[in-house]
């Protein structure tokens, strides 16, 4: 156990803690472990800017509906704002702001020359036809034209968006600018300047983080059982890679529930969210269980890789896994984090575990600037190197200060951000 406050010392958690509230509480806690000016910490609790836009959409039947879109820009002292666009009914300004703070730390932990941004539209993407998604995305790109750009703010995919969404966004922005500008977004299809390996990257880094954590605790991946919540870009790729490395993946889920096989599932045969949404439960398995049950399975490694706030004060005591690897952003509430720490459950935080997505986005941005495409092998080798380097930086703080992996990752990030602010001489 490390030196985080006890459950009693932590402020009570409300049922509806937003990403912003959690991110601020995490920042305050981590700040007690690092020698950074209080003014810098105070500044980092607030975004630079949150852009809110109305996005009118003409439905296929001719009816017009207006949706609300956001782009939160948290901090850019180390480089352009960077982070995904989410299409989900629960997207709000506050959620985007919290998620953009996590992007600032994530880019700093990985030592990428980016700050943090996040955006999205409050909409159910499953309610849209492909044509409607295209029209919505093009209009969103037009509304965000003034705040995004390859050296300003570079969006990417997140929940409910994918490579095709990024292609439409890039095309709409390029048409407004009068020239092709691939570097305005990352996560595009490789044929228009996307990077090989970007789609799989957050799942790959989550699997790498799981592998390192398993080995750090003296065990072998081939002797490990794993449960994964969410079978999209992050969850499916993490599950498949861990299976390839010899782990027994006993459960995977989509929004409707999970397949469970104590002898291990053939994860490559289960369609991902991208291949076919809500198809997990249509596959054969000895048992199906709920999404809540997945979290409480007696496995070595649990990977929440869907939505936020799934491990809470209500179920943290029931988590049986020895290691939780956060594939999703913000799956563990502040109070649950404290409980897991007291129970000696190792939590590898989102800002390290799923950082492969933004890391390969950085590789894509470099490829766009240089007009040169890297091979998949080059991308995966560089990603492995970046992940191991970040892992070592965080591990050193865990060991030197007896911190949780989350606090240690924050210490690495905050030190780099504070040094950049001090060196630039800007009042933060």
Ligand X SMILES: NC(=O)C1=CN([C@@H]2O[C@H](COP(=O)(O)OP(=O)(O)OC[C@H]3O[C@@H](n4cnc5c(N)ncnc54)[C@H](OP(=O)(O)O)[C@@H]3O)[C@@H](O)[C@H]2O)C=CC1
Which positions lie near ligand AKG, rule CB under 6 A?
A: 82-84, 106, 156, 158, 186-187, 329, 354, 357-358, 361
Q: How many CB atoms lie within 10 A of CB 349?
A: 30
User: CB-wise, 40 or 257, nearer to ligand X?
Assistant: 257
Catalytic residues: 118
Q: How far is the CB of 10 from ligand X (least distance, A)?
A: 23
The option from ligand X, ligand AKG, none interacting with 312 (CB < 5 to 8 A, set by class) reads none
Q: How far is the CB of 119 from ligand X (least distance, A)?
A: 12
User: How far is 207 from 26, CA to CA, in rounded Å?
Assistant: 24
The option from ligand X, ligand AKG, none interacting with 4 (CB < 5 to 8 A, set by class) reads none
User: CB-wise, 251 or 324, nearer to ligand AKG?
Assistant: 324
Structure tokens at 142: 């037009």
User: How far is 332 from 326, CA to CA, in rounded Å?
Assistant: 8
User: CB-wise, 270 or 420, nearer to ligand X?
Assistant: 270
User: CB-wise, 25 or 188, nearer to ligand AKG?
Assistant: 188
**Residue among 159, 148, 112 at smallest CA distance from 273:** 159
SS3 425: coil
Site for ligand X in 55-84 (CB under 6 A): 84
The option from ligand X, ligand AKG, none interacting with 76 (CB < 5 to 8 A, set by class) reads none
The option from ligand AKG, ligand X, none interacting with 186 (CB < 5 to 8 A, set by class) reads ligand AKG
Q: How far is the CB of 97 from ligand X (least distance, A)?
A: 14
The option from ligand AKG, ligand X, none interacting with 100 (CB < 5 to 8 A, set by class) reads none
Question: In sequence order, what are the residues at sequence separation of 6 or more whose Cβ sits closer than 8 angstroms to the Cβ of residue 371?
Answer: none
Site for ligand X in 212-271 (CB under 6 A): 229-235, 253-256
User: How far is 144 from 409, CA to CA, in rounded Å?
Assistant: 31
Q: How far is the CB of 354 from ligand AKG (least distance, A)?
A: 6
Sole binder of ligand X in the list 41, 213, 301, 305 (CB under 6 A):
305
Q: How many CB atoms lie within 10 A of CB 426?
A: 10
Q: Is 306 in the site for ligand X (CB under 6 A)?
A: yes
Structure tokens at 147: 């705040």
The option from ligand AKG, ligand X, none interacting with 253 (CB < 5 to 8 A, set by class) reads ligand X
Q: How far is the CB of 249 from ligand AKG (least distance, A)?
A: 23
Note whether 128 and 135 are within 8 A (CB). no
Mark residues 273-302: x for contact with ligand X by CB under 6 A, - for none: x---xx------------x-----------
Note whether 385 and 377 are within 8 A (CB). no
Q: How far is the CB of 158 from ligand X (least distance, A)?
A: 5
DSSP per-residue codes, 80-147 = SEEEEEEEETT--HHHHHHHHHHHHHHHHHTT-S-EEEEEEEES-GGGS-HHHHHHHHHHHHHHTTTT
The option from ligand X, ligand AKG, none interacting with 254 (CB < 5 to 8 A, set by class) reads ligand X
Q: Is 158 in the site for ligand X (CB under 6 A)?
A: yes
DSSP per-residue codes, 235-261 = HHHHHHHHHHTT-EEEEEEETTEEEE-
Sole binder of ligand X in the list 155, 157, 182, 183 (CB under 6 A):
157
Q: How far is the CB of 201 from ligand X (least distance, A)?
A: 7
Note whether 357 and 156 are within 8 A (CB). yes
User: CB-wise, 41 or 347, nearer to ligand X?
Assistant: 347
**Residue among 245, 241, 246, 240 at smallest CA distance from 268:** 240
Q: Where does this chain touch ligand X (CB under 6 A) — which range of 128-136, 173-181, 238-246, 326-334?
A: 326-334
- What number of chain residues touch ligand X (CB under 6 A)? 29
The option from ligand AKG, ligand X, none interacting with 393 (CB < 5 to 8 A, set by class) reads none
**Residue among 87, 81, 84, 82 at smallest CA distance from 68:** 87
User: How far is 177 from 425, CA to CA, in rounded Å?
Assistant: 33
Question: Any idea of the CA torsion for 391, 308, 324, 253, to the nearest 10 degrees?
Answer: -120
| Residue nearest ligand AKG, CB atom distance | 84
Q: Is 311 in the site for ligand X (CB under 6 A)?
A: no
Facing residues of 341 across strands?
none
Contact residues: ligand X, CB under 6 A: 84, 157-160, 202, 229-235, 253-256, 273, 277-278, 291, 305-307, 327-329, 354, 357
């Amino acid at each position: 156990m490390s030196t985080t406050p006890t459950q009693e010392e932590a402020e009570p958690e409300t049922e509806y803690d937003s990403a912003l509230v959690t991110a601020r509480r995490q920042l305050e806690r981590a700040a007690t472990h690092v020698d950074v000016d209080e003014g810098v910490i105070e500044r980092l609790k607030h975004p630079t800017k949150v852009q809110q836009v109305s996005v009118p959409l003409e439905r296929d039947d001719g009816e017009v509906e207006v949706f609300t879109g956001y782009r939160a820009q948290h901090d850019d002292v180390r480089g352009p704002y960077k982070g995904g666009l989410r299409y989900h009914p629960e997207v709000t300004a506050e959620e985007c702001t919290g998620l953009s703070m996590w992007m600032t730390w994530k880019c700093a932990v990985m030592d990428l020359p980016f700050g943090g941004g996040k955006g999205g539209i409050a909409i159910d993407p499953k309610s849209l036809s492909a044509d409607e998604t295209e029209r919505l995305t093009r209009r969103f790109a037009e509304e965000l034209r003034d705040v995004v750009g390859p050296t300003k703010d570079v969006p990417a995919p997140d929940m409910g968006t994918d490579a095709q969404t990024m292609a439409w966004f890039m095309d709409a922005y390029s048409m407004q600018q009068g020239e092709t500008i691939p570097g305005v977004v990352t996560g595009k299809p490789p044929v228009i300047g996307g990077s090989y390996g970007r789609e799989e990257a957050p799942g790959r880094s989550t699997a790498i983080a799981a592998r390192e954590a398993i080995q750090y605790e003296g065990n072998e991946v081939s002797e490990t059982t794993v449960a994964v919540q969410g079978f999209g870009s992050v969850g499916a790729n993490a599950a498949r890679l861990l299976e390839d490395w010899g782990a027994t993946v006993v459960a995977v889920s989509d929004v409707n529930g999970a397949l469970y096989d104590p002898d291990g599932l053939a994860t490559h045969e289960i369609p991902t969210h991208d291949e076919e949404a809500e198809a997990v439960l249509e596959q054969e398995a000895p048992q199906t269980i709920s999404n809540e049950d997945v979290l409480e399975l007696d496995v070595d490694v649990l990977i929440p890789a869907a939505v936020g706030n799934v491990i809470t004060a209500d179920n943290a005591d029931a988590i049986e896994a020895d290691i939780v690897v956060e594939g999703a952003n913000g799956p563990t509430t502040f109070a649950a984090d404290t409980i897991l720490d007291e129970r000696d459950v190792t939590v590898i935080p989102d800002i390290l575990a799923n950082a492969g997505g933004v890391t390969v986005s950085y590789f894509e941005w470099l490829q766009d600037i240089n007009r040169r495409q890297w091979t998949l092998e080059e991308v995966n080798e560089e990603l492995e190197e970046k992940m191991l380097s970040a892992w070592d930086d965080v591990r050193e703080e865990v060991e030197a200060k007896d911190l949780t992996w989350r606090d240690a990752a924050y210490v690495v990030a905050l030190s780099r951000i504070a040094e950049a602010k001090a060196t630039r001489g800007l009042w933060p």
